[in-house]
Amino acid sequence: MHLVLFDIDGTLLRTDGAGREAMMRTLAAHFGRSFGFDAVSFSGKTDPQIFREILSLAGHDDAEIDGELPALLDAYTETMLAGLTAARITVLPGVPETVATLARRDDVLLGLVTGNVERVAFAKLDLVGLAAPFVHAERLLGGFGSDSGHRPDLPGIALERAHAATPHRFSGERVWIVGDTPHDLHCGRGIGARAVGVATGHYTRADLDGHGAALLLDDLSDVTPLALLFHI
Ligand SMILES: [Mg+2]
């Protein structure tokens, strides 16, 4: 039995800057002024981590940021849920077919490891009909930005939830992280997970090379390399 944990942004879909816009609007509404975003890359980072970096660059100290973060994440979530539409979302090549093929197998459990807060993760997937394969025991299975701002915490959280939600037990080498950034490829090391890189985000295959992935793919248009890798 394999646990396959997908990143969302740049891996399953992209949202055409909707997250960035919602963060800018959230910060402007909360503090009554605008913030500089240009120096902050969002790729592979959790939502709380992105807020932390923007506020830190603007001169806020860690204690202030800790104090503001819960309200900011709540406001950001409401802004995203109110504004995000399916028209804004591009599902990446082959994703519906690959997800459906893996979901049909009884030796694969699908989950998520994403920096999105859980409710936003669900909204993005649900709007394009991709949520159901990731729902187990009536909840998205995964580790989310709402669980921790530190991405390397998230695979272990997803694994705990997989053990709580199903009768299956997954050893580290049967846990796979599929993502579009070096952060994704590194984040599962703590639990012995292996990684698959897909070059559908801001990173090319060459960029993703050298980060220890078991497999690098241009996109998810063919499920065969994944199936071979998982020996399923
Ligand atoms: Mg990503």
Q: How far is the CA of 14 from the centre of ligand 1 (A)?
A: 9
Q: How far is the CA of 170 from the centre of ligand 1 (A)?
A: 24
| C-alpha to C-alpha distance for 84 and 77, rounded to whole angstroms | 10
Q: How far is the CA of 74 from the centre of ligand 1 (A)?
A: 21
The string over 189-225, giving b where at least 16 C-beta atoms fall within 10 Å of a residue's C-beta and e elsewhere, is: eebebbbbbbbbbebeeebbeebebebbbeebeeeee
Instruction: Please give the class, per CATH, of domain 18-86.
Output: mainly alpha
Q: What pLDDT does 230 receive?
A: 82
**In this structure, are residues 110 and 102 in contact, taking their beta carbons and an 8 Å threshold?**
yes
Q: How far is the CA of 180 from the centre of ligand 1 (A)?
A: 5
Angle, to 10 degrees, between the axis of helix 47-57 and the axis of helix 62-83?
130
CA atoms within 13 A on the CB side of 78: 9
**In this structure, are residues 145 and 183 in contact, taking their beta carbons and an 8 Å threshold?**
no
**In this structure, are residues 177 and 185 in contact, taking their beta carbons and an 8 Å threshold?**
yes
| C-alpha to C-alpha distance for 140 and 224, rounded to whole angstroms | 25
| C-alpha to C-alpha distance for 82 and 80, rounded to whole angstroms | 5
Q: What pLDDT does 232 receive?
A: 60
Q: How far is the CA of 178 from the centre of ligand 1 (A)?
A: 9
pLDDT in tens, the chain (232 residues): 999 999 999 999 999 999 999 999 999 999 999 998 888 889 999 999 999 999 999 999 999 999 999 999 999 999 999 999 999 999 999 999 999 999 999 999 999 999 999 999 999 999 999 999 999 999 999 999 999 999 999 999 999 999 999 999 999 999 999 999 999 999 999 999 999 999 999 999 999 999 999 999 999 999 999 989 887 6
For the domain spanning 2-15+88-229, the CATH number is: 3.40.50.1000
Give the domain ranges of the chain. Answer: 2-15+88-229, 18-86
